Amino acid sequence: MSKIGSFADHRAPLLAGTVASITGTAASLGIALSALTGLGATKTQTTSAVVASTVLFGLLSILLSHRYKMPISVVWSTPGAALLISSGAMGFPFSTAVGAFLVSGLLLLLTGLWPALGRAVASIPKPIASAMLAGVIFNFCVASFKTVATFPLIVLPALLVWLVLYKLATVWATPAAMLIIFSLTAINLGITVPADQLAPTIELVTPTFDLAAILGIGIPLYLVTMASQNIPGIAIMKSFGYEIPFRPVMISTGLATLINNFFGGIPLNLAAITAALNANEHAHKNPARRWLASVWGGYVYFVIAALAGAAAVFVIQAPRDLILAAAGIALIGTIVSSLSSAMEDTTLRIPAMITFLVGASGLSVFDIGSAFWALIAGLLVWAWLSLKRP
């Protein structure tokens, strides 16, 4: 009876952790790969970034969950990766982009060491931060529908599957759409992955630094990671009754991000959607036992890391338009939530809309991308409209 009871006790968290890790990675992997290749990463560098990231997801999810007995899930910044897709047009070498990633990692670490920085980021109105993200990813969401004209037999089925599952089983909508679009791409275009390129590889990247890249990539990446992942992640966990230990979690993810950067990886942060899957009643009836789900999910990430080589080889061979279309489908949910958040406060709609329009414009001044200028424009308009009339 004890063995049966033990299995019953672990079955729900094992299933929840597996579903959360697989769906979360499947939904975001296309975005991350598109961002890395767009920034000029080679196949080896792209593989290295995904391997290092997923291994660190696993390690941090296991260690933090076990230490604090909470379902703490750590992932990469999917909104950050979405922001980075537009940064490829800035023309920086990949080593310079990695230098900007490193600045984001340092800021994340500093947020844990100096909580006032976290409070300062939290003081930026959420509608403006959301509008910045929505503006930057707007053109990539549109790309999904533009690509229908070129590859109708590949993109239309993926969009249809996404729409059907969004109504019937929302959590599976994006992963299933990614599976459809990549499978049809491989079949219709004859893309294969040679057996000798299946093994994951690791390569260190020496960062280089450029002020324009730091302002146009590094700082917006930090702000998006905090505003769209860490702060919502803490709020989601609180809604399930878990008080996340802010300081140790931020220090841990900041240090892990710095390690990840030297392998070409993007910032790591608290999960939001994945966290909800591991923290709800489906993970375990007893909230005190739900941490087992994120621990098991951590081990699943190790398996995903072993498949990173094949994913990177495939993405590099596939047409750029199809990769962007896949990323656009994966970002539909993100842009919906971002635009909803941007417009929710009627007093901030004008600053938020200016932020969105500047971000969507692709504006680049002094080689600094639109994400930075969108945030500056939104904050300036907010400050102006907030002034009292004399």
Question: Is the pLDDT higher at 187 or at 315?
Answer: 187
pLDDT given for residue 196 in this prediction? 67
DSSP, residue by residue, 288-327? GGTHHHHHHHHHHHHHHHHTHHHHHHHHHHS-HHHHHHHH
Q: Label residue 238 by pLDDT band (50, 70, 90).
A: confident
pLDDT given for residue 174 in this prediction? 78
Question: Is the pLDDT higher at 131 or at 315?
Answer: 131
Distance between CA atoms of residues 363 and 30, nearest Å: 25
Provide CB contacts within 8 A for 225, sequence distance 6+.
77, 79, 80, 104, 108, 267, 269
Distance between CA atoms of residues 237 and 253, nearest Å: 17
pLDDT given for residue 381 in this prediction? 94
pLDDT tens, position by position, 239-249: 778 888 889 99
pLDDT given for residue 100 in this prediction? 94
For 257-286, what is the mean pLDDT?
84
pLDDT given for residue 3 in this prediction? 44
Distance between CA atoms of residues 125 and 190, nearest Å: 48
For 296-321, what is the mean pLDDT?
83
Give the range among 136-150, 158-172, 361-375 with minimum mean pLDDT: 361-375
pLDDT given for residue 190 in this prediction? 83
pLDDT given for residue 211 in this prediction? 92
pLDDT given for residue 197 in this prediction? 65
Query: pLDDT at residue 4 above 50?
Result: no
pLDDT tens, position by position, 43-65: 889 889 999 999 999 999 999 99
Distance between CA atoms of residues 206 and 358, nearest Å: 32
Percent pLDDT > 90 in the chain is 30
pLDDT given for residue 386 in this prediction? 87
Locate the domains of the chain by residue range. 11-386
pLDDT given for residue 368 in this prediction? 66
Percent pLDDT > 70 in the chain is 94
pLDDT given for residue 366 in this prediction? 61
Q: Label residue 367 by pLDDT band (50, 70, 90).
A: low
pLDDT given for residue 194 in this prediction? 72
Query: pLDDT at residue 125 above 60?
Result: yes
pLDDT given for residue 9 in this prediction? 62
Distance between CA atoms of residues 320 and 285, nearest Å: 45
pLDDT given for residue 258 in this prediction? 96
Distance between CA atoms of residues 252 and 246, nearest Å: 10
Provide the token pair at 24: 């979360």
pLDDT given for residue 94 in this prediction? 93
Residues 338-357 as b or e (16 or more Cβ within 10 Å = b): bbebbbeeeebeebbbbbbb
Residues 204-236 as b or e (16 or more Cβ within 10 Å = b): ebebeebebbbbbbbbbbbbbbbbbbbbbbbeb
List the one residue out of 75, 81, 8, 27 whose CA is nearest residue 297: 75
For 99-123, what is the mean pLDDT?
88
List the one residue out of 242, 291, 300, 236 whose CA is nearest residue 269: 236
For 347-368, what is the mean pLDDT?
84
Report the 10 Å Cβ neighbour count for 312: 29
pLDDT given for residue 380 in this prediction? 93
Q: Tell me what the pLDDT averaged over the chain comes to.
A: 84
| Three-state DSSP class for residue 240 | coil
pLDDT given for residue 5 in this prediction? 43
Give the range among 100-104, 175-179, 254-258 with minimum mean pLDDT: 175-179
Report the 10 Å Cβ neighbour count for 105: 28
Provide the token pair at 97: 């982009």
Give the range among 54-58, 80-84, 357-361 with minimum mean pLDDT: 80-84
Find tokens 């791409």 and name the residue.
Answer: 185
Q: pTM, whole model, 2 decimals?
A: 0.75
